[in-house]
Amino acid sequence: MIRTARMRHSEEPRAAADAVTEVLLEALPHWKARRRPRTKGKVDLELSGPHGAALQVNIKEARDTRPDTVEGALARAVLQLQHLDIAGATPVVALTVPRLGSKTVGRVRAFMDAHGPAIGWVVVASDRSFAIELPSLAVSKRSIESHLTTRTLPVSGSSALFTDLNCWLLKVLLLKDFGPELWSYSRGAIQTPMQLMKAGAVSRITAYRFVRTFTEADYLRATPAGLQIVRREALVRAWRGAAESAVVHATPVRWLLGRPSRVEDVFDMGKMRYAITGFEACRRLGFLHANSKRTEVYVPHVERAMRRLDLAPASTGEADFHLLTSTQSVDRGTRLVDGAMVVDVLQAAIDVDRNAARGREQSDYIFHDVLGWRNV
């Protein structure tokens, strides 16, 4: 019994580090992670990203989500990071908890705002629901509701199928045979879940879970030619239906410095990550069929974008554009078009479908005439 208990205790830090690593690498595409030997008071995980960016992560485990347990773990991590010499890197506190809800996320955010405002943080639950705040990278992501939904619905349910990363991997498989004018990422045959993992830059667990889920739903098959989407039209119809029923908050705003001549000027000036979607994205991509004056833009965090970019709330009729909170599926498919960041063609078709003013007409045009999928 003693030996078993010791083995279990030694495996717990490793499991915590695996969970944190998986979540961070999914939130930060193209970053690389290096595990550090676990030593009390030291950095447990290092991540390196583009242009020399780096994160130094101190991982703590909380046995429960009581306030004193959570805040005690956070306090130890903050103190340890403040005493380390990690010049040039961003310090990050990572906390693993048994379960994650809005109260725990709020408690973590309040503590870090008060005691470690310059320190990034990530909190991960055993079911891989998570919340991430990395101010230095303008990254703010949260995946709680989607994981709770996935646990309580059968795998055939639309909410379980069309989670954030599943939508991204669907794009990888559905668009891989199109040319660079439609898809500028991985192209060609994908034979195995491991190749899907590399093509989509996701974790191994995510890739295998995706293959199992969509195979069981009869939308994916392993063939001699590789992983193939089957019943494509039925799949896309289900995706459109799930997107249509989802609650999407679009915040109408106006620029306090005057009406901008180009949307990208506002975001480039504030050095804010963004992605144009909706009708304006269709126009930029060269697939505009119907028209609307409404301009929609994805940003990592709506309230933070409004503060940084001098944006004020506006009525729908007076808005320069509408802000939406971005997701990984959106971020990973974004491409540069004539100096502006624009969503991919599938995202544009899905998003414009929500617009009551000729949105379905524009969406159908992309699916039927641009992509050649007639029965969706």
Q: Residue 132 half-sphere exposure, CB side, CA atoms within 13 Å?
A: 25
d(CA 232, CA 217): 12
Distance CA 25, CA 21 (A): 6
For residue 52, give both structure tokens. Answer: 């020399």
For residue 285, the tally of other CB atoms under 10 A from its CB is: 20
List, in order of start, the domains of the chain with CATH numbers.
2-147 (3.40.1350), 153-244 (1.10.10.10), 247-370 (3.30.460)
Q: With a cut of 80, say whether residue 15 has pLDDT above it.
A: no
- Measured CA to CA, the distance from residue 358 to residue 125 in angstroms comes to 42
| Choice between 150 and 137, residue whose per-residue pLDDT is larger | 137
Torsion of CA 161, 163, 169, 175, to 10 degrees: 80
pLDDT on residue 13: 61
Q: What gap in Å lies between CA 192 and CA 265, rounded to an integer? A: 42
pLDDT confidence band for 367 (50 / 70 / 90): very high
- Residue range 180-190: mean pLDDT, rounded: 84
pLDDT of residue 350: 94
Q: Is there a contact between 268 and 260 (Cβ–Cβ < 8 Å)?
A: no
Specify whether the CB–CB gap between 308 and 254 falls below 8 A.
no
Best-predicted range by mean pLDDT (75-79, 127-131, 135-139, 290-294): 75-79
Q: What is the pLDDT confidence band of residue 267, given thresholds at 50, 70 and 90?
A: confident
Indicate the residue type of 40.
K
pLDDT tens digits for range 29-43: 788 888 776 555 578
- Count of C-beta atoms within a 10 Å radius of residue 207: 22
* Position 265 confidence tier, pLDDT thresholds 50, 70, 90: confident
When mean pLDDT is compared across 72-81, 134-143, 289-298, 306-315, the lowest value belongs to 134-143
Q: What percent of the chain has pLDDT over 70?
A: 90
Q: Which of 15-19, 51-55, 226-230, 264-268 is the most confident on average?
A: 226-230
Cα gap 128→20, rounded to integer Å: 9
pTM of the model: 0.60
Residue range 68-116, pLDDT digits in tens: 899 999 999 998 888 877 677 889 999 999 988 888 888 898 898 888 8
Which residues 6+ apart lie within 8 Å of 148 measured at CB? 129
Taking the C-alpha atoms of residue 145 and residue 353, their distance in angstroms, rounded to an integer, is 23
pLDDT band at 151 (very low <50, low <70, confident <90, very high): very low
Beta strand residue intervals within 32-129, DSSP E: 32-35, 45-48, 54-61, 90-97, 120-125
Residues 119, 132 contacting (CB under 8 angstroms): no
- Cβ-based neighbours of 319, under 8 Å, separated by 6 or more: 252, 253, 254, 294
